[in-house]
Amino acid sequence: MSVGTIWVLAEATDGTVASITLEMLAKARELSDNVECVFGGDGALVATELGAHGASAVHATGDLAGKLPGPAIAGAIAAAISGGAAPVAILCGTTYGGRDVAGRLSVKLDASVITNIVDLTNDGGLVGTEPVFGGSQLVNTRFTSDKPGIFLVRPKSFEAAETGGGAATVAALAIPDLGPSGAARVTNSFVEQSEGPKLDEAAVVVSGGRGLGESEKFELIESLAAKLGAAPGASRAIVDAGWVPYSYQVGQTGKVVKPDVYIAAGISGATQHLVGMKGSKTIIAINKDSEAPIFGVADLGIIGDVHKVLPQLLEALNARG
Amino acid sequence: MKVAVCVKQIPDPADPGALDPSTNTLKRDVKLILDESDSYGVEMALQLVDAAGGGEVTLISMAPNNEVNGLRTALAMGADKAILVSDDALAGSDALGTSKVLAAAIARSEPDLVLAATESSDGYTGTVPEQIAELMGLPSVTFAKSIEVADGAVKVQRQTEEGYDDVECPLPCLVSVTAGVVEPRYPSFKGIMAAKSKPVDEVSIADLGIDAGSVGWAGGGQEIVSVIDAPVRDAGEIIEDEGEAYERIVAFLDELKVI
């Protein structure tokens, strides 16, 4: 049975809708006969793609004119709800923008957020599934109030699917006066050009961890990734140590990846890391500690020194041309 | 400049912990330590106060049983004082309930700037910084990879999916910092000794004017339906490197048609 209307927070870059948005639309369509999007930007830019993935309407704020998206979008959603809109749930992606919207909106509605969702089911109301302890257990949670349920959904939890629908109807979503809380302004945006595929979209990911010993050795990871057409990733330990930027982090508090092949080099497999990569189709691990938890999820595990195995591997791959 | 830093005291992540089967919340019966994620905010606060030519760094924490072990670590790094909210009524609080408590405690220190990590290492909901900002009516910038303060405003490089945004925001405001934003200092022996006598203001929710019904179990607005074991992955092939293990990787990548 269909639940009521579900709202999905749409995110896009230069008119291309983010994969997490399309993934959430696919799940929302399974649960509800009416799925609509909210979007901080010009709705006309995304209406066709959102419609093709099952959204009937997109409530769009229009150009944000430098406003930081989180407070503006949350303010607009809250205003729409107090004006009579009544979605049963609002799905936001676990992204930089999605978390801002969910946090702000939660206070405006005085409603809690169910976070880190990897599945949503209808059991007399929406129930969210959250993995804990590195994904070894799953906690199912539902809301007890009749307010709209705010869910933060992990990327890669669902498969995006086109429904063949026409363009979504664009409706105006007014941003109310935000007062001091809306005072932050984006003055410039920088795109960091990275060679090769994006971490969360790559078919192959090569990640390094503390076992590399020192930051200069991350070059081994970069070289192997380049050779395999893979994206380089990192464990939290070496992000915290400042070897690589936060954007490289795979794990509970970083990116969730589900590549065809995941190579973990010098990563012990803390629960924090496992939850971000254990959905990979095939996992290869290299670690000198035979007791390392990463071997518990590896399809091929090499008990050995990354400083020996990685250079040998690179040389062998280079020899193949 | 007065800076308030939210710090969480958590069970040691090296010991992954467990759910209490009677309540389905994390067990909190072990000794707590400073969440490493929060050491970046503490370090950033110390550096910003230095750069401003003086001020005060106040730690804000909520923990059961008047736990101060993690706070002492941050005080030893150089923070001036702490406000600790400890109250039995807080057991079972979700992120929103926690934010209500922290926001009320932060307000007592009347800061120019509030710093927090992007998420804790044990609960990782990642919503608390924005919830605090909204509760306090403050502007905010999340996911900062660098922060400068000048002319009554912060200039922040904010992490984005594609790179970063330059964001400007007037004080007072809240900023959440990513790991690696600064290199946290190790407490010196002198710092550790000094930390023992730094003030920790222990307050209850009544002191903060918070109604017990809006926090803890009662304030949650959600219920756990079930906890189940996730499917286990099949065991793979494990080999010890005798100098030729790379060949097995090459062959494996070949089978997978990656090369």
- The DSSP-derived string for A193-240 is --SSS-TTT-SEEEEE-GGG-SGGGHHHHHHHHHHHT-EEEE-HHHHH
Residue A60, pLDDT above cutoff 70: yes
Q: How high does pLDDT run on average in chain B?
A: 93
In this predicted model, what pLDDT tens digit does every residue of B190-204 receive, in sequence order?
Answer: 999 999 999 999 999
Q: Are B204 and B81 in contact (CB under 8 A)?
A: no
Q: What is the pLDDT of residue B29?
A: 67
Q: How far apart are CA A70 and CA A98, in angstroms?
A: 7
- Which pLDDT does position B192 carry in this prediction? 96
**Could you report the per-residue pLDDT of A1-23, keeping only the tens digit for each?**
789 999 999 999 988 999 999 99
| Range B122-136 average pLDDT | 94
Phi/psi of residue B10, nearest 5 degrees: -130, 160
Confidence of residue A191 (pLDDT cuts 50, 70, 90): confident
pLDDT on residue A74: 98
pLDDT at B116 over 80: yes
Q: What pLDDT shows up at residue B17?
A: 67
- At which residue do the structure tokens 């990590």 appear? B117
Yes or no, beta carbons of B248 and A302 under 8 Å apart:
yes
Is there a contact between B13 and B32 (Cβ–Cβ < 8 Å)?
no
> Which positions in chain B touch A107 (Cβ < 8 Å)?
96, 99, 131, 134-135
Identify the CA nearest to A41 among candidates A25, A55, A59: A59
Given a cut of 90, is residue B62 above it in pLDDT?
yes
Q: Scanning the structure block, which residue is given the tokens 């089978």?
A: B255
| Cross-sheet strand order for the sheet of A149-153 | A113-117, A149-153, A89-93, A6-10, A35-39, A57-60, A169-172
Residue partners of B48: CB distance under 8 A and separation at least 6: B1, B3, B113, B147, B149
Query: Do residues A124 and A113 touch, judged by C-beta distance below 8 A?
Result: no
Q: Which of B119, B229, B249 sits opposite A136 (nearest CB)?
A: B229
pLDDT of B23 > 70? The answer is yes
Residue that wins the pLDDT comparison between B27 and A132: A132
The pLDDT confidence band at residue B16, using thresholds 50, 70 and 90, is: low
CB B167 within 8 A of CB A187: yes
Q: Do B124 and A185 touch (CB under 8 A)?
A: no
- Cα torsion through B38, B41, B44, B46, rounded to 10: -80
- pLDDT score of B92: 87
List the structure tokens of B244. Answer: 């030729």
Instruction: Choose the closest CB to A189 out of B94, B142, B165.
Output: B165
Q: Which of A123, A228, A239 sits opposite B180 (nearest CB)?
A: A239
User: Pairing state of beta strands A169-172 and A185-191?
Assistant: unpaired
Asked if B140 and A184 count as a contact pair (C-beta separation under 8 A), the reply is yes
Cα–Cα distance measured from residue B16 to residue A254, given in angstroms and rounded to the nearest whole number: 18
For residue B48, count other CB atoms closer than 10 A to its CB. Answer: 22
Looking at chain A, the whole-number percentage of residues with pLDDT higher than 90 is: 85
Beta-carbon contacts of residue A126 (< 8 Å; ≥ 6 apart): A3, A31, A88, A89, A120, A142, A143, A149, A151
Contact A309 B158 (CB under 8 A): no
Spacing of C-alpha B207 from chain mean position:
23
Domains of chain B and CATH, by start: 2-219 (3.40.50.620)
Q: What are phi and psi of A119, to 5 degrees?
A: -155, 150
- What number is the average pLDDT over the span A144-149? 93
Interface with chain A: mutation pick from B140, B154, B182, B232, highest number of A CBs within 10 Å: B140
Q: Using CB atoms, pick whichever of B16, B126, B220 lies closest to residue A115.
A: B126
**Which distant-in-sequence residues (6+ apart) come within 8 Å of B201 by Cβ?**
B81, B82, B83, B84, B108
pLDDT tens-digit readout, A206-264: 999 999 999 999 999 999 999 999 999 999 999 988 899 888 999 987 898 999 999 99
Query: Which stretches does DSSP call E strand in B49-139?
Result: 56-62, 81-85, 113-117
B127–A113 C-beta distance less than 8 A: yes
State both tokens at A51: 């419609």
**pLDDT value at residue B246:** 96
* CA A247/CA A212 separation, integer angstroms: 19
Residue bearing the bigger pLDDT, A14 or A110? A110
Helices (H) and strands (E) in chain B, counts: 7, 15
Residue B123 pLDDT grade (very low, low, confident, very high; cuts 50, 70, 90): confident
Task: Average the pLDDT over each of B18-27, B62-71, B189-198, B243-252 and give the range with the smallest value.
Answer: B18-27
Rounded distance between C-alpha atoms, residue B204 and residue A285, angstroms: 48
pLDDT, tens digit, 9 for 90 and up, residues B99-113: 999 999 999 999 999
Domains of chain A (ranges, CATH numbers): 6-182 (3.40.50.620), 204-319 (3.40.50.1220)
Q: Cis bond leading into B172, ω under 30°?
A: yes
> How confident is the model over B67-96, as pLDDT tens digits?
999 999 999 999 999 999 999 999 889 999
Per-residue pLDDT band for B43 (boundaries 50, 70, 90) equals very high
Q: Sort B4 into a burial class: Cβ within 10 Å, 0-12 / 13-18 / 19+.
A: buried
pLDDT, residue B181, reads 83
Structure tokens at B184: 């946290």
C-alpha pair distances (Å), A41 with each of A27, A175, A204: 23, 11, 33
pLDDT value at position B219? Answer: 81
